[in-house]
Each structure stands twice: as structure tokens, then as C-alpha cells.
Amino acid sequence: MTPLQPSYDATFDPDAPVTPLLLDAVDFLAGRELYAFLWCDDDLIVRESFGALGELAPVDQHVCRSLLPLMGFEEQIRALKRKPQRTVELPNLSIMMGPVQSPRININVFWRPPMKRFLVALSRVISRSDLEVELNHNIRARRIAESQLLEKSDEIARANRELTRVNGDLEEFAYVISHDLNAPLRALKILTSNLHRTMGNDATKDALADLARIADQTRRMSSMLTDLLDYASIGRKDEVMERVDTRALLQGIADSLPRPPGITLALAGTWPQIDTLRAPLDIVFRNLLENAVKHHDRETGAICITATPEEMRQEADGLYWTFEVRDDGPGIPRDYQEAVFHPFRKVEAAALIPDLQSDAAFLDDAAAPPQSTGIGLALVKKTVDSVGGRLVLTSDPDHARGARFAVYWPKQPAL
């Protein structure tokens, strides 16, 4: 509020009655929608009270006692006599007299020479239009919504941090377990072999059968641990980008993959040379092809691998090479299409995907057929995820045989 500027001239007689100044004050305050004004003496006792809200400050009472907002401002009010250009100003207050909202007022205390008393003015808050109140409602609602949003964001961030930590712990655990358990397993294999040698021709048929079972289960456990180690290692190794001839890579995998003579592997499409991470790409295709071969349920079948670089997929987060592995095997029922990407989960329906249990020659690893531990597709999924790609399985055995795995391999894989 602008300090009170009396209109008297410099020749004003300080001994003259204060009436002209009072009239000036009234004129000034009337422009500010005055509710009341009070005169207080040096002890801050109300001596005169005028106006509609005058009952807030009864005569002969201490002004700070009756006008509660002034409590604590006694010194500042008295200091006005030393610095008369100042005003004690408390804007936008409501002195609550009951549950109904009291009028909003500004309290201003003045002293100007040659006044003998302090003038306390209670004026209406005129800057708060209905529009402004509405605006404040909206601001309040927005602030609350913002803080609720922030709260949710914080919750998600906390949950993500916890999830990352737990995943890290799990991977570390799997890595340590799979690595450390291999040592006693190797010892078990050696001891079984020694036992078989020691028994020689004295071994009964039943004992030999049991030894064979021990060796078979040992080999199976060893495969599982190796796979688990591979699974836990994804993302741990420092991979480097290199130029990869994708046709040569796939041809190499196809050539080295043991398979029944009736199962054919064919490469189709245009195979690009790309700058990428070789080892993860190798893991993905090797396991997809192994899966297609292992789980084929007929003596003859066809597996086709296609590259379609000209249809490089553009998504919000970048460009992807598109590859596809398609087989004419039994397919994967819809109910199992999520579970097959979990480690050591296999489709249980033997008629659909037979489990190739070993009838291997005793203690002869080289002669054993490939073991199915059920981690191949989990390795593929985790590897594709780790480089920022996508893996899409399409299969509907109720209507057609076969499964199709589409691999969207990022042009810029995550390192």
C-alpha cells in the first residue's frame, strides 16, 4: 500500500488541530474500501474506533490484544515514530470468528507527524476477485496432482531400482552356483568312471545299469549347469562391435549343427554384412536352430532362415534388421508360448515336443545325442533383450504346423 501522503503544505502548523490530516486519511482510506479505522495512543490502547469492523478492537483495550494479527508487532508499531515514512502492513488476513469465513482485510498502521496517535486502518482486500479465487482453486488442484504424480514416479523409480538390484543378485547367484557346482560334478564323473573300472568284469548287470544311470544324470546336470552359466553370463561379457557376414555366420551354424538326415536347413533372402556383436547373434541363431531341430517330431522336415534387410524395421527407438526362423515342426501351443522363454521350462506335452532323453553309451560324452535342458529359448530371449532387440513367436498348432520366430536385431545394439 502506498504510504499515506498528507496534502498539507510545508507551512502547516504542528500545533493546529489534526482535523485536516484526519480528513486526508479518511479520503485516502475511503479509496481503499475502508472497513474501520482506529486511533491508538503511545501505549497502543485503542482510544477511538470507527467503522463496521470497529467491534474487532474495542476502545480502551490494547490493540494487539484485540486485533490478534498485530500480536508481536508492538515494537514495529512504536518504531513508526522514528521512521514515519514506513507503514506496518499485514495484508490479506481473515480473523476467524466462527465456521463461516470472515471478511478478508488488510491491516495498516500509520504514524505521520504531527499526529499524536497511531492510525490503524482495516480495509477490504480488493485484489481477490472471484476469478482469482477460482484461479487459486485450480492452482491448488494442479499442485496436488503434480505432487501425486511425482509420488507415483518416485514409487516406480524405487521399484525399478529394487528390481534391478534383485535381478543382479539373482544373476550373480546363478553364476556362482553354476560355476561352483561344476567342480564336484566333474569329481562325480571321474569317481563313477573309476568305480566302473575297478569293478571290471565282477560288476553285476544291475550295478552296471545303475552306474550308467548315474553317468547319464551327471551328464544331464553338467549340461544344465553349463546352460545356466551361459544364461547368467549374458550381458556380463565385454562384447565389441565387428563386421559380421550374416550369411557366413548362419551357414557355419547350420553346417555344424547335428541333425537327422531328413531335416533340411535352408537360408533364404538377402543376407547383409552388418556391424554388430557377433557372439550374441551367434547364440540367438544357434539356439533357435537347435530348438527347431531337437523338437521336430517327424523324420523329415524343413527349417528356413530368412533375412529381410530391405525391410529394416523402423520403430520409435531405432532401426532393426529383421531375421526369421521358420520350421514345420509340431508348433508351440498358445498356452505355452510365454513359458518356453523361461529357463528350464519345456512344453510338457510329449506328443508335441518329445524330450530327447539320452540312451547314450555309458560314460561316452562324444557318443551322446544332444541333451535338451530347456534353456535354449530362454537364452535367445535374454540375449535379444540384452542388446535391445525384440523376439516374436508366432505359432498356432490348432490350425497349422510349425513355429515362426522373428528376430528384430537392433542396428545399434546396446553394449
Residues that bind other proteins (CB under 8 A): 65, 68-69, 71-73, 76, 89-96, 98-99, 101, 104, 125, 128, 133, 136-137, 139-140, 143-144, 147-148, 150-151, 154
Sole residue written with cell 571290471:
200
Nearer to other proteins, 74 or 239 (CB): 74
Shortest Å distance, C-beta 89 to other proteins: 7
Identity at 234, one-letter amino acid code: I
Query: Is 378 within 8 Å of 258 (Cβ atoms)?
Result: no
Nearest distance in Å: CB 124, other proteins: 13
Nearer to other proteins, 93 or 234 (CB): 93
Say how many C-beta atoms besides its own lie within 10 A of residue 108's C-beta: 21
- Whichever of 76 and 226 has its CB closer to other proteins, that residue is 76
Strand (E) or helix (H) holding 265: strand 263-269
Best CA proximity match to 380, nearest among 303, 269, 286? 286
Cell of residue 378, nine digits:
530362454
Nearer to other proteins, 106 or 373 (CB): 106
Measured from the CB of residue 112, what is the shortest distance to other proteins in angstroms? 20
Closest CB to other proteins among 141 and 241? 141
Residue at 255: amino acid letter: D
Q: 62 or 404: whose CB is closer to other proteins? A: 62
d(CA 94, CA 96): 6
The answer to whether 271 and 246 have CB atoms below 8 angstroms apart is: yes
Positive or negative, the Cα torsion across 67, 69, 72, 74? negative
Beta carbon of residue 131, minimum distance to other proteins (angstroms, whole number): 13
Q: Which is nearer to other proteins, 75 or 299 (CB)?
A: 75
Q: Which residues of 307-342 are buried (b: 16+ CB within 10 A; e: fewer)?
A: bbeeeebeeeeeebbbbbbbbbbbbbbeebbeebbe
The least distance separating other proteins from the CB of residue 40, rounded to whole angstroms, comes to 18
- To other proteins, the closest distance from the beta carbon of 48 in angstroms equals 24
Look up residue 128 and give its three cell numbers.
Answer: 481477490
Minimum Å distance from CB 2 to other proteins? Answer: 17
